[in-house]
Copies of this chain bind each other. A is one copy, B any other.
Amino acid sequence: MEHTVAGCRAREILDRIGDKWSLQVIAVLGERTKRFTELKREIDGISQRMLTVTLRGLERDGIATRTVYPVVPPRVEYSLTPMGATLMDAASTLVVWAERHLEEIDAARTDYDARQNDVRDEDGRR
């Protein structure tokens, strides 16, 4: 069988890291173990709620661990599991691709959009 890419199963990881925040959380956690507030501070624009939701998902999937220290004030630390680290490596391939091609993609978009406008102009604007 062996599809080189993206049979039905491939969607399942995208369901996990393809959401708005997972990959960024994984990336930041990849640096080292971090506390909740650290993560929140370092991931620009994430809400408290979504950070919690995302972390729970990663924890559930065995990608991150959550360690609670029973002190006051509460101290909770998150880190990647070994599997999480391998996921980060795998994802980095895509990230590298992104960095290499984002300009090209932006150019393609601009081009495409411009051509769409041309077409709309030709047949008399509505």
Interface residue from B10, B63, B99 paired with A23 (Cβ < 8 Å): B10
B contact residues around A108 at 8 Å (CB): 60-62
Minimum CB–CB distance for A100 against chain B, Å: 8
Interface of A, helix, strand, loop or mixed by DSSP: helix
- Does residue A11 face the partner (Cβ distance < 8 Å to B)? yes
- Does residue A104 face the partner (Cβ distance < 8 Å to B)? yes
Interface residue from B83, B94, B99 paired with A93 (Cβ < 8 Å): B94
The A1-25 residues at the B interface (CB cut-off 8 A) are 3-14, 16-20, 23-24
Q: A9 contacts B99, CB within 8 Å?
A: yes
- Does residue A86 face the partner (Cβ distance < 8 Å to B)? yes
B contact residues around A7 at 8 Å (CB): 24, 27, 95
Which residues of A are in contact with B by a Cβ distance under 8 Å?
3-14, 16-20, 23-24, 26-27, 30, 44, 59-63, 83, 86-88, 90-99, 101-102, 104-105, 107-109, 111-113
| 7 cross-chain CB contacts under 8 A | A3-B27, A3-B95, A6-B92, A9-B98, A10-B27, A10-B98, A83-B104
